[in-house]
């Protein structure tokens, strides 16, 4: 059993606490949060928790704690993770890993030097639907990927000191990096503030991946409907991943343009027009769905116990932060195209 401390029992920390407490290899021993009174009350439901505190330094000094799970605001990730790694604790940090690639590099260096697990909470990489889409891409069933379109929309949770890019895009960037097994060459982003001055509530991002694959993302917490939709358009088939759907998260569309030169030729009849577009069957593949956060927590424990590198390690976290930083620069420069080394 690993003795773990959770730092931050806010909105997302509560989901982590529930899954950490349920994991067979983890003993959720300590919860640390600056808001001590509320945390004492909220922590009552986790039977294994022996200590609730607001003293972070005491937690990382405690030799009985093996692992620290950080679910605090992004601006605090680097300092808290660095201290924990320096105190020789294994560390899990919620997404994004830190506020800059330089900070990520420093965390990677300390974890490597101290031979510690450093993992980032890119929870969608543990989502069976996302993994299923990756299998479809890897198998060649949809042909070559041409482009991906993603929408992450909802009415709320509105953030006032963090824009929609940093709050929402880490998920989509980690998903597309995973699906394409690559990182973008270039990024551009536009963003608009409507609720809080200087905080973009709506952000449009374009990522350019190797092989002329484009990814466009629309991110907003000011939209009437919750949408977690990603469409992958391939040369042979198209896949729609709808994370909100309960019974049809993935659909494979046997659709395409059969023959471009034929398609461009003026059709002589309405039926001929239809024949040039291949509009075949739609398949809803079956797969087991397990709560991704439970899989993620189990993976963290397994990596510590078996001395393995997490699928979402520090480098994986850095690859996402690098793109966020470039997109932020583009936002500030009215959508300037920023190339990534």
Ligand X SMILES: NC(=O)c1ccc[n+]([C@@H]2O[C@H](COP(=O)([O-])OP(=O)(O)OC[C@H]3O[C@@H](n4cnc5c(N)ncnc54)[C@H](O)[C@@H]3O)[C@@H](O)[C@H]2O)c1
Question: What counts of helices (H) and strands (E) characterise the chain?
Answer: 11, 15
Strands (E), 156-249: 186-192, 202-209, 213-220, 222-234, 238-242
Q: From 257, 298, 296, 285, select the one nearest 135 (Cα to Cα).
A: 285
Among 76, 100, 128, 214, contact with ligand X (rule: CB under 6 A):
76
Tell me how far apart the alpha carbons of residues 269 and 271 are, in angstroms, rounded to a whole number: 6
310 binds ligand X (CB under 6 A): no
State the number of binding residues for ligand X (CB under 6 A).
Answer: 21
Among 3, 18, 34, 315, contact with ligand X (rule: CB under 6 A):
34
Q: Which residue is nearest to ligand X (CB)?
A: 10
56 binds ligand X (CB under 6 A): yes
73 binds ligand X (CB under 6 A): yes
Stretch that binds ligand X, among 29-37, 137-145, 194-202, 249-257 (CB under 6 A): 29-37
Tell me how far apart the alpha carbons of residues 287 and 241 are, in angstroms, rounded to a whole number: 13
Stretch that binds ligand X, among 30-38, 144-152, 187-195, 300-308 (CB under 6 A): 30-38
129 binds ligand X (CB under 6 A): no
95 binds ligand X (CB under 6 A): yes
205 binds ligand X (CB under 6 A): no
228 binds ligand X (CB under 6 A): no
Q: Which residues pair with 90 in a beta bridge?
A: 67
Angle at 299 between CA 306 and CA 151, to 5 degrees: 155
Interacting residue ranges for ligand X, rule: CB under 6 A: 7-13, 32-35, 56, 71-74, 76, 94-95, 121, 123
């Amino acid at each position: 059993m690993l003795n773990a401390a959770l730092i931050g029992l806010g909105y997302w920390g509560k989901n982590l606490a529930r899954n950490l407490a349920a994991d067979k290899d983890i003993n959720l021993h300590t919860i640390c949060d600056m808001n001590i009174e509320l945390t004492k009350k909220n922590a009552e439901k986790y039977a294994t928790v022996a200590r609730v505190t607001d003293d972070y330094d005491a937690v990382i000094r405690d030799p009985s704690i093996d692992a620290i799970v950080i679910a605090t605001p992004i601006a605090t990730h680097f300092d808290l993770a660095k201290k924990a790694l320096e105190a020789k604790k294994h560390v899990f940090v919620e997404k994004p890993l830190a506020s800059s690639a330089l900070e990520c590099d420093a965390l990677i260096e300390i974890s490597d030097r101290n031979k510690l697990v450093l993992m980032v909470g890119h929870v969608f990489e543990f989502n069976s639907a996302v993994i299923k889409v990756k299998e479809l891409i890897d198998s060649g069933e949809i042909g070559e990927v041409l482009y991906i379109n993603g929408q992450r929309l909802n009415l709320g949770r509105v953030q006032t000191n963090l824009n929609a890019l940093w709050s929402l895009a880490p998920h989509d960037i980690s998903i597309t990096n995973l699906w394409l097994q690559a990182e973008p060459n270039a990024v551009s982003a536009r963003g608009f503030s409507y609720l809080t001055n200087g905080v973009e509530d709506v952000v449009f991002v374009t990522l350019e991946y190797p092989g002329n694959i484009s990814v466009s993302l629309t991110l907003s917490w000011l939209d009437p409907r919750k949408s977690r939709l990603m469409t992958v358009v391939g040369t042979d088939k198209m896949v729609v991943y709808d994370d909100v759907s309960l019974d049809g998260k993935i659909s494979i569309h046997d659709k395409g343009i059969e023959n471009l030169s034929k398609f461009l030729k003026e059709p002589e009849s309405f039926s001929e027009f239809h024949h040039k577009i291949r509009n075949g069957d739609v398949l809803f593949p079956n797969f087991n769905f397990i709560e991704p956060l439970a899989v993620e927590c189990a993976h963290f424990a397994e990596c510590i116990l078996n001395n393995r590198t997490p699928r979402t390690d520090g480098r994986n976290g850095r690859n996402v932060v690098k793109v966020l930083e470039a997109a932020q620069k583009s936002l500030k420069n009215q959508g300037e195209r920023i190339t990534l080394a």
